[in-house]
Chain A
Amino acid sequence: MSVLQALDLRRRSASAVPPLPAGKPAAVEVAKLIDVSKCIGCKACQAACLEWNQLEQPIGFTDGTYNNPHDLTPTSFTVMRYAEHEESDNLEWLIRKDGCMHCADPGCLKACPSPGAIVQYTNGIVDFISENCIGCGYCVKGCPFNIPRISRVDSKAYKCTLCSDRVVVGEAPACAKACPTHAIVFGTKADMIKHAEARVADLKSRGFQKAGLYDPPGVGGTHVMYVLHHADRPSLYSGLPDDPHISRLVGVWKGVMKPVALAAIALAGAFGLMHYVAKGPNRVSENDERKADEYAHGKGA
């Protein structure tokens, strides 16, 4: 997906982004709000996603649950995950629409080694630019939400684009457009937070004391947010991370290690050169050759 012409960049993988031209304001940050308490699990969002992105999910097999397909795939950018949760004699069916969270601090982009294969627009959307993708799978390791999937067909990474190609022309993402209960809404991030506050207040008034907004600060906040009835326990919702952050392993690998490693290599080379200049080569003397000769002949005699 590439809408580079129309959207300004905030970040670009493995490369720097020039500042916006003088006087040009950054785009307003957008967000998708998924109100889990309103979701009826109809999968209209999944269907709309396939349709808009012109994708086809190959027919699989059922595992006895409603999860279908079982997991995100290179062609299914979003899946509904169904969890049964029992609490004080109540059975709750917690249905969460899973997909890219469009982190403000994207782990995929941090991990990506290919310049421009992953970009973040000034509106907050994180997008994979397929033509630059080399299929290394580093984004999979960088992502705290386990979202990117590498295609077996073209060895490129795929995930939700937040319909960047719709957003750029002022349309809401296909999933939000298709949702029959308005569980998925789309707008500026500020508006979505305000909308979520009203929803949380409503849920609290109906007994969900721990209702809240999921906008995890560990990744700088996200541009896909959830309203959860149990915001104190996000992991109830099919393993939504309680406190997501970019793995420390990835942080070291993609942070301090890069300059330190190159400096170490450069220093080793420089040390060799300086040693040669200061101490000179280690040569075999005539004396050594003579002694070796004598020893060899002495032995032979």
Chain B
Amino acid sequence: MSDDKNAVSRYTTGARINHWITAVSLILLALSGLSLFHPSLFLLTKLFGGGQMTRIIHPWIGVVLAVSFLGLFIRFVSLNFWNRDDTVWMKNLGKVINNQEEGLPELGKYNAGQKLVFWGQSILILLLFCSGIVLWDVYFFDYTSIEQKRVAALAHALCAIAAILIWIVHVYAAIWVKGTLRGMTRGSVSGGWAWKHHRKWFRQEVGKP
């Protein structure tokens, strides 16, 4: 609970710090990764102190992200299991996109789109971590064959692009749906926001002593 009387607490301080460590490391990973993915973006290596430094630093940021994301996963996994309302919501995705979500089922803390972001990033970050280890030659060169490294390189690039696309959806949703961002900055959302978007969760929160 914060300044306004109807605010509903959505994220603890720990969850917010955890989220922003993940967010910053994901952005740094995307920039350094893209710089080595496409020649036109090689100039981004300058942000990290040059090509050699980018190559050295990228996997370590990856380790930070993996640990940090694991924290988010443990915090939120129980709230992200799929249910029947999510299927209904997905079938009405067109209405949602057109800002006409009236009449859709009341939702818990997360809607189907948020759950897909959660599971998509969970799977992709696991794959990125595993393929990244295979590509981390300084420590792990001797443990895999060159053919396995090729598979890892392609898989790492594909998963990274998919994760960046999901990240764009995630960020855009926070820009589009007003009142969302303060949940991750100040930790609370307005009562009206909770009523409109996550009514079932709102009822639970209000019911709490």
Determine the chain A residues whose CB is within 8 A of the CB of B151 once the complex forms. 249
Contact B51 A134 (CB under 8 A): yes
In the complex, which residues 113-157 of chain B have their Cβ closer than 8 Å to any Cβ of chain A?
A: 135, 137-138, 141, 146-147, 149-151, 153-154, 157
Contact A279 B98 (CB under 8 A): yes
Contact A137 B154 (CB under 8 A): no
Partner of B37, one of A113, A279, A284, A289: A113
Determine the chain B residues whose CB is within 8 A of the CB of A114 once the complex forms. 42, 51
In the complex, what's the smallest C-beta–C-beta distance from A11 to chain B, in angstroms? 13
A295 at the interface (CB under 8 A from B): yes
Determine the chain B residues whose CB is within 8 A of the CB of A239 once the complex forms. none
- What is the interface size of chain B, counting residues whose CB is below 8 A from a CB of the partner? 51
Contact B192 A265 (CB under 8 A): no
Contact B38 A141 (CB under 8 A): no
Contact A299 B207 (CB under 8 A): yes
Partner of B150, one of A247, A258, A286: A247
B39 at the interface (CB under 8 A from A): yes
Q: A114-B42, A268-B168 are in contact. Are A141 and B176 (CB under 8 A)?
A: no
Closest to A114 in B: B51
In the complex, which residues 245-272 of chain A have their Cβ closer than 8 Å to any Cβ of chain B?
A: 247, 249-250, 252-253, 257-258, 261-262, 264-265, 268-269, 272
B110 at the interface (CB under 8 A from A): no
Determine the chain A residues whose CB is within 8 A of the CB of B135 once the complex forms. 137
Contact A292 B195 (CB under 8 A): yes
B164 at the interface (CB under 8 A from A): yes
Determine the chain A residues whose CB is within 8 A of the CB of B191 once the complex forms. 289, 292-293, 296
Closest to A265 in B: B164
In the complex, which residues 157-200 of chain B have their Cβ closer than 8 Å to any Cβ of chain A?
A: 157-158, 161, 164-165, 168-169, 172, 175-179, 190-196
In the complex, which residues 132-158 of chain A have their Cβ closer than 8 Å to any Cβ of chain B?
A: 132, 134-138, 140-141, 146, 150, 155
B54 at the interface (CB under 8 A from A): yes
Contact B169 A268 (CB under 8 A): yes
In the complex, which residues 71-114 of chain A have their Cβ closer than 8 Å to any Cβ of chain B?
A: 113-114
Give Cα A279 to B176, complex, Å: 9
In the complex, which residues 195-231 of chain A have their Cβ closer than 8 Å to any Cβ of chain B?
A: none
Q: A281-B176, A281-B177 are in contact. Are A296 and B37 (CB under 8 A)?
A: no
Contact B146 A141 (CB under 8 A): yes
Query: Could you list 17 A-B pairs, sorted by A, with CB under 8 Å?
Result: A14-B42, A134-B51, A134-B54, A135-B137, A247-B147, A249-B154, A250-B153, A253-B157, A257-B157, A258-B38, A265-B161, A269-B168, A272-B176, A285-B196, A289-B6, A293-B6, A296-B206
**B contact set with A: CB distance below 8 Å:** 6, 36-40, 42, 45, 50-52, 54-55, 97-99, 135, 137-138, 141, 146-147, 149-151, 153-154, 157-158, 161, 164-165, 168-169, 172, 175-179, 190-196, 202-203, 206-207
**A contact set with B: CB distance below 8 Å:** 14-15, 113-115, 132, 134-138, 140-141, 146, 150, 155, 247, 249-250, 252-253, 257-258, 261-262, 264-265, 268-269, 272, 275-276, 279-286, 288-293, 295-296, 299
